[in-house]
Structure 1
Amino acid sequence: MTTTDSHGGEPPLFGPGSQFDEFFNDPRWALAIVRATVLEAAHPQIGAALVDNSTFVAHPWRRLHNTFLSLQRMFGADDAVREREAKRLNRLHARLSGADARDRPYDAMDPHVRAWVVATLFESTVAMCRFSGQPLEQTTMERLYTEFQAYLAALGDQAGHLPPTLQEFWPYFDRMVEELEDTEALRIILYKLFDHLPAPALLEGLPTVWAAGRAVAGPVLGAITVASLPESLRRRAGLPDFPGARTLAQSAYLAMGLARFLPDGWIQADVLAGLLAMSPDSDDPRARTVAAVRDGIKRAGALVRLITPIPAQPETAAPGGGRSAEEFFRTVLDQTGDGYLDWPDLAAMAREVCGRLDLEEPAETMLYNAFAAWWKELQGALDSDGDGRISAEEYAAATPGLAGPALIKLADVLFDATDADGNQSIDADEYRALFRTCFQRDMTDAAGTYSRSAFVKDFLSFTAGRRPSRAYDPLFAQA
């Protein structure tokens, strides 16, 4: 079922013809999303939830791809897809609660918190037009605001969590900005993420080239973002005010806005986000094209190393090569990037699998429960100092004995979730749903399918952490 025009010729709230649809593939929106994320991170509850649970530091490109996919589903024309995505988001948010370093509780289902997330997206979209010298007309803003209100309503939130009119929104936004803080999450985004942004999967073979570009782009992106924030937040958080930064921000928005005049189809936000998250081993033709370009750049890497002060970094290990327990801990297990393994890391793995397979209840809960049981098994076996989490040293000291009953059970549950038709084997379509790449023929049995025993064996081999996996590394390890 699709959204239809039921308001006497008024534009639809979702899908083609909506105001949001016109902005979705606007390249300026990339900067607006970053700005909105910083405004969210400065909210005490959201900032605490991000630090405790989010993978945005260790896996930013995967997070970007998933965010664009979710927005595409929620703002698309299909009502059934939107309802399904809203239920998924609500289940995800219901699992995110806790307390910050000052023992203040946070809950991702708090309606006022959810309203602030939507408010930052709307206000940052308006701001991007203002910064690029093309401020929205009043009627356009009102239409866009109505669409974001409908987005919040689609999540099941009652009216009133956002002001009912655009005129009332701006005092609300100003009041909320005054309640924002200099949170740890805000600092991580501005001063760690931009400066240490990992390379997307397709460029992992060019560490020196990536580092050289990041050394220039990271600080510039940080300065643009800071300059675009409300002045009161910048002052309260003690953010630097570089001379000319606001002019730089306006120039960046204006320059990116010029890309809107490229031929239709050249700029597709979801396609670009998917490309950045794509594995180098993907059978997608775009991956092969990028890989060919990457190989050409790689041959020029020696010259880049000669003219830059950035030290050379080790190349990614080739498939089939060994890796240390510490590397497996850092790239696979520590999903949040905080240097420790605890439940949020394994919950992030569960979220990624559930998202790829588009699981609904009860399969989603079964998978989460299996990951939770594995976490308890790991904690009981490896948490030698009893601090409730596992360090890289604790993990490395006990890696050989990790294949316990809970992990084996997890492998079985993961197989059942992937085996969508329940015929006790994984075919090419089911394989692609999980791994986003072609069927690996070397994994198949005599019948040409991926059997339960082979799947469980490969998963346990991967979790042993000693050798890279062409299948599982893109699922759990890539940024």
Structure 2
Amino acid sequence: MTDTDSSHSRRTGPHEVQFGALFGPGSQFHRFFNDPRWALAMVRATVLEAAHPQIGAALIDNSTFVAHPWRRLRNTFLSLQRMFGADDDARQREAARLNRLHARLSGADARNRPYDAMDPQVRAWVVATLFESTVTMCRLSGQPLEQTDMEQLYAEFQAFLAVLGDQAGHLPPTLREFWPYYDHMVETELENTEALRIILYKLFDHLPAPPLLDGLPTVWAAGRALAGPVIGAITVASLPEPFRRRAGLPEIPGAQTLMQSVYMAAGLARFLPEGWIEVESLAGLIYLSPDSDDPRAATITALRDRMKRAGALFRLVTPFPTQSGPEEGTGARRSAEEFFRTVLDQTGDGYLDWPDLAAMARELSSRLDLDEPEETRLYNAYAEWWRELQAALDIDGDGRISKEEYAAAVPSLAGPALIRVAEVLFEVTDADGNQYIDADEYRALFRTAFRRTVPGTEERYSRSAFVKDFLSFMSGRQRSTAYDPLLADA
């Protein structure tokens, strides 16, 4: 019997505890997945992960969480859903995908300390933060877990780590041994990293609008101005007190009371009828475009119209500065600076380098759910494009491209390597190999029907048309109803 069996017994002390299913509908994780409190727990866990020096450095160098936080959130939920779902084949494929992703993330931080996303101790800490934050979520909302439920949940997260292939021992074998391990990590290993500071003091205050509210900057700015500081305050208040002291995080008067009130209020969702809150549906709604063929799109369009009118009223009665949203329609050109910021600079650090193009390859591979060798082909095509860009645009030779270098050097990026990126993307999207992208294949990549985004293309999308449109977007800086949600949206 292995750690990934659907049910087993694990000795946690003098008594033998019988556990139910570790994955799927019978698991403790499944019980929490659609719980609104878990969004708070996820934010808290992310902060604790970012406070680990290796994870913080990897986030700064490679992650899109600053420029594209909603995309990263959606992908995280999708990954957890696959890992903890009932389909074992989907779980094994997702584990293999995560391992390939992590194997590509290594480097050194600002103090020249190495980091490696495949380090088993680091991966164990990620799982530990998810488990402990879920336990804390229940406690803060006045519904602490029973001991047996806590042990079951711990066994599930251990099984999650085992599916990734990590050997036993990187997480303590029993729940009783876990708490000293967790306290040691908090008191001695965590730091006030740059990634932690960005999450707490920049991300919440400058969170970009999700696709659903794109084009409604005034409405979004008003809501963010109220919600951003609250989320930051309750997150800091929920962190372990020893770490708050060591990191010098400010103690805001009333934050503890506010935090407990928010957790308690979110916990009331347990009284809602079953099925009212579904994470998958909510995530899909956040990303729903008015151009989608989803039946909910008409309602969303009407709601957006009303919100635009509310935004106009807000501009009359509030001091929020006027903010311009994206231009309406397709075909409008972006400035070089805007294109650099919204499309090329995926990590949001102000420069274009390999992690930005790797993030594009990662997002496309995730959308298409690619296996090997297609995933590697796409990464290799982007790597070749990066070498071409670096040779043409890196004027000062510092290994990265600034927006000034990009804007001044050339007006177009359509070299042979970018054409190859377009061809490889077509080939991996064309799953049946018939040299056309049909409706289902198009939906897998763009999450909408092509009759909405490519007028006149009712039945299929040819290789030449696809490559032409991709190059028009990437080199001509053309706005595109199809490609903007793919690479430019948050």
Asked if residue 420 in structure 1 is aligned to residue 431 in structure 2, the reply is yes
Supply the distance in 1 between the matched residues of 2:94 and 2:430 (Cα, whole angstroms): 21
Supply the distance in 1 between the matched residues of 2:289 and 2:392 (Cα, whole angstroms): 33
Please tell me the residue identity of whatever aligns with 1:462: F
The unaligned stretches of length 5 or more in structure 1 are: none
CA spacing shift, 1:446–1:252, aligned 2, 3 Å: closer
Supply the distance in 2 between the matched residues of 1:477 and 1:163 (Cα, whole angstroms): 42
Residue by residue over 1:2-55, the C-alpha shift from the partner in whole angstroms, topping out at 9 and shown as x without a partner, is x98554984110001111111111100000000000000000000000000000
Please tell me the residue identity of whatever aligns with 1:385: D
Residue by residue over 1:360-397, the C-alpha shift from the partner in whole angstroms, topping out at 9 and shown as x without a partner, is 00000000000000011111111111111111111111
CA spacing shift, 1:446–1:168, aligned 2, 3 Å: closer
Supply the distance in 1 between the matched residues of 2:264 and 2:122 (Cα, whole angstroms): 31
Asked if residue 272 in structure 1 is aligned to residue 282 in structure 2, the reply is yes
Within a 5 Å distance, the mapping from 1:19-98 to structure 2 comes to 19-98=28-107
Asked if residue 122 in structure 1 is aligned to residue 131 in structure 2, the reply is yes
1:310 corresponding residue in structure 2: 320
2:15 corresponding residue in structure 1: none
Supply the distance in 2 between the matched residues of 1:294 and 1:397 (Cα, whole angstroms): 38
Supply the distance in 2 between the matched residues of 1:401 and 1:297 (Cα, whole angstroms): 37
CA contact (8 A) 1:325 1:399 kept: no
What's the offset of the Cα at 1:285? 2.1
1:348 corresponding residue in structure 2: 359
Supply the distance in 2 between the matched residues of 1:309 and 1:274 (Cα, whole angstroms): 32
Within a 5 Å distance, the mapping from 1:283-432 to structure 2 comes to 283-319=293-329, 320-432=331-443
CA spacing shift, 1:22–1:402, aligned 2, 3 Å: same
CA contact (8 A) 2:6 2:23 kept: no
Report sequence identity in percent.
78
What's the offset of the Cα at 1:133? 1.2
Supply the distance in 1 between the matched residues of 2:20 and 2:401 (Cα, whole angstroms): 53
1:99 corresponding residue in structure 2: 108
| 2:411 partner SS | helix
CA contact (8 A) 2:29 2:153 kept: yes
What's the offset of the Cα at 1:270? 2.2
Within a 5 Å distance, the mapping from 1:398-477 to structure 2 comes to 398-440=409-451, 443=454, 448-477=459-488
Structure-1-length-normalised TM-score:
0.97
Within a 5 Å distance, the mapping from 1:224-303 to structure 2 comes to 224-303=234-313
Please tell me the residue identity of whatever aligns with 1:234: R
| 1:440 partner SS | helix
1:158 corresponding residue in structure 2: 167
What's the offset of the Cα at 1:442? 7.3
What's the offset of the Cα at 1:310? 1.0
Structure-2-length-normalised TM-score:
0.95
The unaligned stretches of length 5 or more in structure 2 are: 10-17
Please tell me the residue identity of whatever aligns with 2:408: A
Deviates more, 1:353-362 or 1:318-327: 318-327
CA contact (8 A) 1:399 1:464 kept: no
CA contact (8 A) 2:344 2:357 kept: yes
Asked if residue 184 in structure 1 is aligned to residue 194 in structure 2, the reply is yes
Please tell me the residue identity of whatever aligns with 2:436: S
What's the offset of the Cα at 1:399? 3.8
CA spacing shift, 1:388–1:112, aligned 2, 3 Å: same
Please tell me the residue identity of whatever aligns with 1:127: T
Supply the distance in 1 between the matched residues of 2:132 and 2:277 (Cα, whole angstroms): 23
| 1:243 partner SS | coil
Q: 2:22 aligns with which of 13, 19, 35?
A: 13
What's the offset of the Cα at 1:448? 3.2
Deviates more, 1:139-148 or 1:459-468: 459-468
What's the offset of the Cα at 1:441? 6.8
Supply the distance in 2 between the matched residues of 1:151 and 1:442 (Cα, whole angstroms): 39
